[in-house]
Each structure stands twice: as C-alpha cells, then as structure tokens.
A and B are shown apart, each in its own frame.
Chain A
C-alpha cells in the first residue's frame, strides 16, 4: 500500500515502514500484533491512526520510537522521534519545568540555555507561570501540555502521539487540538497521532489510517482535503466520520490469512 498520492512525488518520506510485522510470545500465547504494515509519512504531514482497542496502534508507535524491535519488515526513520504517552507520564518528583528541562538535559543542552528554553516551551503550550507546580497539582489537560512541551524539547522532527487526549473532557480536548495543530505546523513536525475517536482523527489528520485487528493491519487510508483548522462538530467531519466508521466496522474483523 503506497501513499504516493499523499505527498508530492519528489519528497522523501521522513518515516518509511515496509512490511512491518510484530509477533509477541510463542506457541499458544502467540499474538500477531502487527502484520505486514506499510506506512509512509512525509515531512510535516499529520497522519492519524484509528482502530479498535488491541489492534496494535501502540505497538506500531513503539516500533517507530525504537522501544521495540519488529519481527519482520524494515523501518526507516529520517530524523529524531519524540513520543507522547497516553497518560502524560510526568515524573512526580519533578516540577513541570523540571520535567521539560530533563529532556533538554538528556540531550546535553548546556545548563545555561536550559532554563530559558524551558520557559519558552512552557510559553508555547500556554503554561507560563505554572513551571514550579508539581504534576499532581496540575489538571489532566495541563499535564498533557507539559508532556507536549517535553516532546518539543526533544527537538525531534517526528512526533508520535499515543491517544494523548483520550482522558480529557471535550472542551479541553478541543482546545488542545487547536494548540497541537498550531505548534506542530509552526515547527513543521511530522505527526503520527493515534486515537479511538474517528472525528478527532478527521479533525486533525491530513490523512487518516484505519487499522483492523487480529492480526493488526492497515485496512484503508484516506486523505482529508478539508482546510485547517477544522471544527470537530462540523457536518463535513460528521459525514466523513460516519463513512469511515462504517468502513472500519465492515472490514475490521474480517479474517485475513
């Protein structure tokens, strides 16, 4: 499955997965989490991945992030990768600012620059003045913003996001959609954004990738040519969401090989 139509022909994809397969366990415990998954992402492209729980979305991101090795297939990543976890995963003994700063420290950014850069990043995610608070003193949405700032601190070209907004209320989520979109476009990042929510996928994605389970595989890819920023409750998104959801349901559990 190629996406030549997605990016213009002469850009080199920043991320190229060919025939990725991931098998966990052996014998009776054997789970094929991913089977023959191929996906290209162009620089600056926003790709959203939708699929049922357990279809291998996190597995795919873990492979791209290098946290796990594929059982088969090749993966070419032309840039640094940052991963944003579902539950923020801030370190509770550090303040918001120190959490962001840690990413700079581990990248060996000189100490003198770190403080200013941290303040700048907290500003980008609209958390000026909250730097000295500890994670448990922040709301869920604020924690995700700190996590986003920490990802930006990694100075990566590819941002992987694993259902980062799943636990948030609709209003905070809408707000963060706007913010993520702005930040990502300003910095020219390529994004792979995983979600359960079809409308969220269409709201954000230049391209939506549908995944099916057992085994985890790509069912369909759809370009979303609507202009940004989009409104999640708009009729255009609702129609497309209904269409793609139908598609996912009809193919999702069809047994393959």
Chain B
C-alpha cells in the first residue's frame, strides 16, 4: 500500500524542544553574535595599535571594557538604561498601536490607500532626526518631543508591514474563507490577519530598528535635566572628552539594539518554520 496510509509512528512533535535541544538552540543563536563582537574588538584593537589616533581619543578595547565594567556598578548607569528602555518600550508600543491601526485601515479601504499609501512609504524614507526641530517647537525640550519622533520613526514601517502582509495573503485563502462561509469579521480574524503575520513581524522588526535609532537621536538632542539616559550619557562623555565612557556607552547601545532585534528575528524564524516556509540561513 502507499506509505500514505501508514499509522503515525512519528513522535517528534513540533512542540517545545527538551532542555538539551533548547540549550543548543540558544547556543546556535549566540555564537554568531559572540563572533561578531570578537571581530569588532579585534578590528578596533588593530586600529588602536596602528597609532592612528592617540588613546585619549580612541581608547583600546580593554580600557573601554574596564570602564564599562565600572559603569555597570553605578546607580546612574542603571537609571540611564531604565529611562532609555522605558522610552523605547512606550514609544514602540504607541507606534505598534498607531501603525497597526493605520495599516489595517489603509489595506482595507481603497480610497484611503490611494490617498495615504505612498505617503506612508514617503514617511519611512524621512530621516527621523529631521523631525526634531519641529518636535522641539511643538513640545519643547521634553519627553513628548522624543516620543513624537520615535513614533513617527517606527509607525510607518509597522503600517507598511501590515499592508504588505495583507497584500500578500494568497487570494486562494480568501476564496477558501468565502467557501467556508466566513463573515467579514471572521475572514479577517481567522484567515487574513494570521496569513499576514510574517509580513507584519518583518514590519515590526524594521519598526524597532527605526524606533531605536530615533530614540538615540532624540536623547542626544533633547537632554532633560536630572534624567540620565544612554543618549545623554553619550553627549556628556563627548563634552567632557571621556572617550572610554563614550565608547562603553556605544557598546551598550549596540548590544541592546542587537538583543531586541534578535528577539524579533527568532520569533520570525519560529513563525516561518512552523508554516514550513524557508527560514534562510
């Protein structure tokens, strides 16, 4: 008989892998990142050795890491990180709600799409730093100015993710929904939105990158007294020529950005793998 009618003997259900498997997964995710860091440090060390700039301007990795270690022990550093991450989370959450709503509306409503579709892409190409003069005029040197730019930076990418996700839903799926008698609401809830998920997650990933960049630009420009943040710390380090502290802060920013991006891409890979889609390298 055909192999088709065999009773199942497969027991590797695609559920959560056991402990060892998970450890391997994390290891597999970690080592390319570790390798990248090692490469950066090596390159940096070579430049320092070349004597291109004096070490009080461009300190060696070892010195920077030492400064970083010292920084980790200060309360000020943790309060800076907390401020920055809180802003990032709130800004991204706002962008998520606004971007998703706009995306769904634009994808659904044709006239709206003609009117704002290209505007959204236009906004996406707008460098977020160019918004700051306006933001500062509107809100003053304040928290809201930063949020405004973070949301403007991230929301268009998220909206575009929704739109392209919905656009790429195979027509066969919507036909299926109609054959199964789905109401307009359940057609969206049960078929269109889940089918659009991979595009949506891609939009979220890009939205995060823009949010993080806008936030750093904002924190450099809009420095609020008595409110340490990573951006402010960068700016102060420059003003007082504290090169090791500047570089150490940059490392923190880089690592935080990569960590969050890693979360998004591992979620995206899981999503795609579950659907039997190509997950790439």
Contacts and interface: CB of A to CB of B under 8 A. Distances in A.
Interface of A: 65-67, 81-83, 85, 87, 89, 91-93, 102-103, 105-107, 126, 128-130, 132-137, 139, 141-142, 150, 154, 169, 171-172, 175
30 contacts: A66-B178, A82-B179, A85-B176, A89-B172, A89-B173, A89-B176, A91-B173, A91-B195, A92-B276, A93-B194, A93-B195, A102-B180, A105-B186, A106-B177, A107-B180, A107-B181, A130-B8, A134-B275, A135-B276, A137-B14, A137-B276, A139-B4, A141-B2, A142-B4, A154-B181, A172-B2, A175-B1, A175-B2, A175-B4, A175-B5
A139 B3 contact: yes
B275 A92 contact: yes
A134 B12 CA distance: 12
Interface string B178-207: 111111001000110011010000000000
Nearest to A139: B4
Given A91-B195, A175-B5, A85 B275 contact: no
Most buried by B among A66, A87, A93, A137: A93
B1 to A, nearest CB: 7
Contact of A134 (B5, B176, B191, B274): B274
A162 to B, nearest CB: 11
Interface residues of B, number: 31
Contacts of A67: 175, 178-179
Interface string B1-36: 111110110100110000000000000000000000
Contact of B7 (A81, A83, A129, A134): A129
Contacts of A172: 2, 4
A93 B274 contact: yes
B2 A106 contact: no
Contact of B2 (A105, A129, A134, A171): A171
A146 B200 CA distance: 28
Interface string B265-281: 00000000011110000
What's the dominant secondary structure at chain B's contact region? helix
A128 to B, nearest CB: 8
A152 B30 CA distance: 47
A102 B180 CA distance: 8
Nearest to B14: A134
Nearest to A86: B172
Nearest to A83: B179
Interface string B47-67: 000000000000000000000
A182 B173 CA distance: 28
Contacts of A93: 194-195, 197, 274-275
Contacts of B178: 66-67
A67 B182 CA distance: 13
Contact of B5 (A81, A85, A126, A132): A126
Contacts of B13: 132
B68 to A, nearest CB: 42
A172 to B, nearest CB: 5
A190 B275 CA distance: 34
A255 B195 CA distance: 44
A142 B173 CA distance: 19
Contact of B180 (A103, A126, A141): A103
Given A87-B172, A89-B172, A106-B182, A136 B275 contact: yes
A145 to B, nearest CB: 8
B172 A129 contact: no
Given A103-B180, A129-B8, 15 more contacts: A66-B178, A67-B175, A92-B277, A93-B194, A105-B190, A106-B177, A129-B7, A132-B13, A134-B14, A134-B276, A137-B14, A139-B4, A154-B181, A169-B2, A175-B1
